[in-house]
Amino acid sequence: MDIDTTVKVSGEAGQGIQTVGQLLGLVCREAGLYVMAISDFESRIRGGSSFFQIRISNQPVRAPHHRVDLLVALTSETLELYRNELSPDGLALIGNDSAPIDSNTQQVLFTALASQAGGRIYANTVAAGACLALLGAPLDLCQTIFSGHFRPRGKAITDNNLNAVLLGYEAVKDIPYSGRFTWPHDGPRGALVDGARAIALGALAGDCRLAAFYPMSPATAIMQHLDGFSDAFPLVVEQAEDEIAAANIAIGASFAGVRSMTATSGGGFCLMTEALGLAGITETPLVIVNAQRPGPATGLPTRTAQADLLFVIHAGQDEFPRFVFAPGSPAEAFEVTVRAFHLAEKYQVPVIILVDQYLADATFIVEESLTAPDHIERFIVGDKDMKDPAGYERFAVTPSGVSPRALPCRGKALVVVTGNEHSRDGHISESISDRISMVDKRHAKLDGMREDICPPRAYHGTAEILLIGWGSTEGAIAESVDRMRADGIDAGCLMFTDLWPFPADAAAEAIGEGRTTLVVEQNRSGQLGKLIREQTGIACSGAILKYDGRPMYPHEIVDGVLPFVR
Amino acid sequence: MVCIEDYESTFENKWCPGCGNFGILSALKDALVDLELAPEQLLVVSGIGQAAKTPHFLKCNAFHGLHGRALPLATGAKMANHELTIVVHSGDGDCYGEGGNHFIHAIRRNVDITVLVHNNRVYGLTKGQASPTSDLGMVTPVQHSGTVSAPLNPLSMALVAGAGFVARGFSGHGKHLSGLIRAAVSHRGFSLIDILQPCVSLNRVNTYEWYSKRVVDLSPEGYVPDDLGAAITLSRQGEDSIPLGILYQKEMPTFMDRMGAFDGRPLVAEPYDRQKRQTLLSQIG
């Protein structure tokens, strides 16, 4: 690829680093470039150190790069933290007087220039202007994007920002930088979408009408996006008093007949597990998003992990069917969310969508068109579908395990459900035959559910070395495969999105025997590896595991594979 | 015409003979008949406990959920379909203990539901432990030296939290209770009736006789329930004279009113507008 540049903007929380990143992304998108951006922040509102890192290319990019070509450090502390990531011909811009200046470091007085533009608060916009100038972005393009972005905030703020971007742009024009490239004029290749927004859009497309939540990083952004749709669509987004209430509100709404969801992270999911079981035994459709972060307990609130896989598959006492899906990109997160609402109603089961801080917050150019279903199949019956509505039984035993689902107060048919074990009519029962028939009925759904499960996706699937991953690491794993193949290593990968019911036969066939198989996961014990062994009997050769709370980079996977190369 | 028989369940009632719950169930049926509310128009939501079994002993739509979680379930159901008439049956442990947080926040939301708390001041389902409303010093199998926490005052709590309908009933005064239930269901907004209910098996202190000597009906005394300060004072009155009736009533905008989204059809009845969704999806930047 001709263009592959990584820019890192770092500073304290509260300095507007996310805004710089957002604007860089918008300018690149408008020019027709691809971007992939991650954000890293601490659990604080002001101070500390955080960064926004954007990879810019003229080819699709789906993972972050570990080498930084241009570092814009708004504080000297973050210069020290990140300067060792600079590539040999990289450049660091620093605004602080006291910062050391070497051949890779150039000083730009962001704050002083910002004061000229209208106030110190515009230092981030000055930095964005400087950054875009060094990359060779056309000034008029930058001005158009900045003007459009700030217009809703009024003329004064827009003008000050335009002054700031110009001052930043001019300030670096004499600084030599080898990373400057020729910008295309191709127009946007897609939308800039992060995982959280993709899930919210998927929920809207999937006809979600009620979302209840309790704020918890990194899931809150999903609800923030959904809330933005609630004026124009039949959708209620309600902040509950806790995660227990959020899950129960969603179940109550689903019982009364609307598609509903909740979103949380691991700690909140812990609180929801009893309600998960309630959805299980009352056979009430429910979609729960668990945006994972490292734990246990509070763990690392603003960081990423893939350590809840076995937890969500097994969460809740006793046994009941559920789906677990882990999308690998925003485009897939959209599709999976639409599908989750459909399957929750088709089988009257809870569906868990596993994402993580990395995917929830990471921004990609999504080229795929996002499509709302032509119509929503509700799998709901009314009096007109029944011979005898008065004799309706919510938990009638059927070969598929799925009973006709009526809604309360929508006809003569009375709908009775309970979290106690029950008979077909929904009333409490302690009889042996009811217990066995209800457990069997619920489990009978698994046959149908397995037919709706997608097999893992292979990329160079017959290679000598097979990397096996799930969820958000897909981009990093696929890129590591490309890099290894370019170096003559016969590597491929197998990615799982549908994790439960586990596609055991498809997995066994795709993994096969007699080659090196390595699971790549962001947890300490190789949870997918354990699941594969449990479900197929296949033991993988090894594991590349990362659990430091930071995103997986392709080079780390390559380094992890090298010891296995013969 | 709705009649009592419409509500008769064939499901075996499992309460102890003489239980105060029977008085509540019968007052409820009377109220529903008076309101001409048919079983198919009613959703009863409950948590866990002897009170929470009520919907099984009635013929109606029912969601018998988790311990303490009846209020969020009812809230979600009402949001999905604001045309539902929802009555929650809960107990002192379910509503004021396990579900205490939900109780406060359901009041804040002012969702238009009626909550009947069967308050027997003891845990029935788990056989006789202290409840949040048990007297200080009450001896139980697991509090052998007597409880050491003071009882909660649910009426004071509801009033201070901002509830728009706060009442107390007694299961031994069925006709009076039935009137209260009628008024509560008719009230637009969150309505609470704390119902004093003797537990004949496990509470030897707060018996029918004990209550009968102490309860006083407010209405013949000309009490008008429009003064929050007076209501709070009444709710804190000592147990020598226990006021029965509506302590406070004030209509306020409900959750649904405040949300605006509920102006027209219930959420459940809105059509799926594919085109509108697709337009939004096609325009994202």
Lowest mean pLDDT among A1-15, A446-460, A481-495, B136-150: A1-15
Which of A418, A424, A425, A430 to substitute to test the interface with B, most B CBs within 10 Å?
Answer: A418
Instruction: Note whether A282 contacts B: Cβ–Cβ < 8 A.
Output: yes
Q: Which two tokens stand for residue A159?
A: 């003008």
Residues A403 and A426: their CA atoms lie apart, in Å, by 12
Residues 205-224 of A with CB under 8 A from B: 205, 207, 209-210, 212
User: Is residue A1 over pLDDT 60?
Assistant: no
Confidence (pLDDT) at B220: 85
Confidence (pLDDT) at A509: 98
User: Is residue A259 over pLDDT 90?
Assistant: yes
Q: Which residues contact A226 (CB under 8 A, 6 or more apart)?
A: A200, A203, A204, A208, A211, A235, A237
Burial of B153 (0-12, 13-18, 19+ CB in 10 A): middle
Which residues on chain A are in Cβ contact (under 8 Å) with B64?
416-420, 428
CA torsion, ordered B133, B136, B139, B143, to nearest 10 deg:
80
Mean pLDDT of chain A: 96
Instruction: Note whether B208 contacts A: Cβ–Cβ < 8 A.
Output: no
Minimal CA separation from B218 to chain A, in Å: 35
Confidence (pLDDT) at A48: 84
Instruction: Report the alpha-carbon angle A388-A394-A395, nearest 5.
Output: 120
Task: Between B270 and A14, name the one with better pLDDT.
Answer: B270
Confidence (pLDDT) at B263: 63
Q: What would the pLDDT profile of B189-225 be if each residue is shown by its tens digit?
A: 999 999 999 999 999 899 999 999 999 999 888 899 9
Residue A120: count of CB within 10 angstroms of its CB? 13
User: Is residue A44 over pLDDT 80?
Assistant: no
Residue listed under structure tokens 């040999």: A88
| CA B54, B60, B65, B69 torsion-angle sign | negative
Confidence (pLDDT) at A529: 98
Q: Kindly indicate the confidence band of residue A100, based on its pLDDT and cuts at 50, 70 and 90.
A: low
Q: Kindly indicate the confidence band of residue A2, based on its pLDDT and cuts at 50, 70 and 90.
A: confident
Instruction: Note whether A77 contacts B: Cβ–Cβ < 8 A.
Output: no
Q: Which two tokens stand for residue A184?
A: 């295309």
Confidence (pLDDT) at A89: 92
Q: What would the pLDDT profile of B94-116 be if each residue is shown by its tens digit?
A: 999 999 999 999 999 999 999 99
Are the beta carbons of B76 and A252 separated by less than 8 Å?
A: yes
Instruction: Note whether B38 contacts A: Cβ–Cβ < 8 A.
Output: no
Q: How far is CA A347 from CA A103, A352, B223, in A?
A: 63, 14, 54
Which residues on chain B are in Cβ contact (under 8 Å) with A29?
285
Which residues on chain B are in Cβ contact (under 8 Å) with A241?
101-102, 104-105
Residue of B nearest to A244 (CA): B69
Q: What is the mean pLDDT of residues A318-325?
A: 98
Confidence (pLDDT) at B261: 58
Instruction: Note whether B41 contacts A: Cβ–Cβ < 8 A.
Output: yes
Q: What would the pLDDT profile of B131-146 be if each residue is shown by its tens digit?
A: 999 999 999 999 999 9
Q: What would the pLDDT profile of B35-81 be if each residue is shown by its tens digit?
A: 999 999 999 999 999 999 999 999 999 999 999 999 999 999 999 99
Q: Kindly indicate the confidence band of residue A281, based on its pLDDT and cuts at 50, 70 and 90.
A: very high
User: Is residue A265 over pLDDT 80?
Assistant: yes
CA torsion, ordered A307, A309, A310, A313, to nearest 10 deg:
150
pTM above 0.95, yes or no: yes
Confidence (pLDDT) at B219: 87
Residues 257-276 of A with CB under 8 A from B: 257-258, 260, 274-275
Interface size between A and B, measured as CB pairs under 8 A: 192
Residues A57 and B76: their CA atoms lie apart, in Å, by 46
Q: What would the pLDDT profile of A421-437 be if each residue is shown by its tens digit?
A: 999 999 999 999 999 99
Q: Which two tokens stand for residue A455?
A: 């097999």
Are the beta carbons of B62 and A418 separated by less than 8 Å?
A: yes
User: Is residue A99 over pLDDT 90?
Assistant: no
Are the beta carbons of A209 and B80 separated by less than 8 Å?
A: yes
Instruction: Note whether B86 contacts A: Cβ–Cβ < 8 A.
Output: no
Instruction: Note whether A439 contacts B: Cβ–Cβ < 8 A.
Output: no
Instruction: Note whether B121 contacts A: Cβ–Cβ < 8 A.
Output: no
Q: What is the mean pLDDT of residues B17-34?
A: 97
DSSP B166-210: EEEEETT-HHHHHHHHHHHHHSSS-EEEEEE---TTT-SSS-HHH
User: Is residue B230 over pLDDT 80?
Assistant: yes
- Identify which of A240, A245, A421 has the alpha carbon closest to the alpha carbon of residue B69: A245
